[in-house]
Amino acid sequence: MENLIQNKKIIYNLSFVFFFIIFLTKTKKTKKEEQKKIAKKRIIKLFELAEKKAFENNFDLADRYVHIARKISMKYLVKIPDEYKRNYCKYCYSYLLPGFNKRIRIKNKKLVIFCSDCNRFSRLNFNIKKNKVDKIEKK
Ligand SMILES: [Zn+2]
């Protein structure tokens, strides 16, 4: 009988430890997800601020915001949304404003973006099926 009671106690303790480990791993996962959510919010906020600063003709600050947003996306493995990806040059990472340093055309079902800071073209895909054309027209 004593053996049985001891065994029960050991099993009880083990199960407690097991559930504690599960709890820890779950909290770690949710922590990461939360971090990613916050990172995405910050990236969007930074691009909005960059747009504001670019309209105020303060391109140095706008470039700095793009730099910070890219750093955040790399650190927390969050993708920069497609709407904001076209707003900076993928070679020199400067913020692009149409009419100032950006020229945008559609050629062979691709967006061709010309950066007049480094005189280079970047081509981006966009799917007509996913109604991404509507988004561009709204902007
Ligand atoms: Zn460029």
Q: What is the DSSP letter of 77?
A: T
- Tell me the pLDDT tens digit for each residue of 78-122: 999 888 988 999 999 999 999 888 999 998 888 899 999 999 999
- Tell me what pLDDT residue 136 has: 57
**Which residues make up the environment of ion ligand 1, defined by Cβ < 5 Å?**
89, 91-92, 115, 117-118
Q: Which CATH superfamily is domain 2-138 in?
A: Immunoglobulin FC, subunit C (1.20.5.420)
* Mean pLDDT rounded to a whole number for the chain: 85
Cα–Cα distance for residue pair 43/52, rounded to 1 Å: 14
pLDDT of residue 123 exceeding 60: yes
Whether the pTM exceeds 0.85: the reply is: no
Instruction: Find the 5 Cα to ligand 1 centroid distance in Å.
Output: 73
Give me ligand 1 centre to Cα 10, in Å: 65
Reported confidence tier of residue 129, pLDDT bands at 50, 70, 90:
low
Q: Is the CB of residue 98 less than 8 Å from the CB of residue 136?
A: no
Kindly give the distance from the C-alpha atom of residue 37 to the centroid of ligand 1, in angstroms, as a whole number: 29
- Residue 130 phi/psi, 5-degree rounding, is -85, 15
**CA 78–ligand 1 middle distance (angstroms):** 22
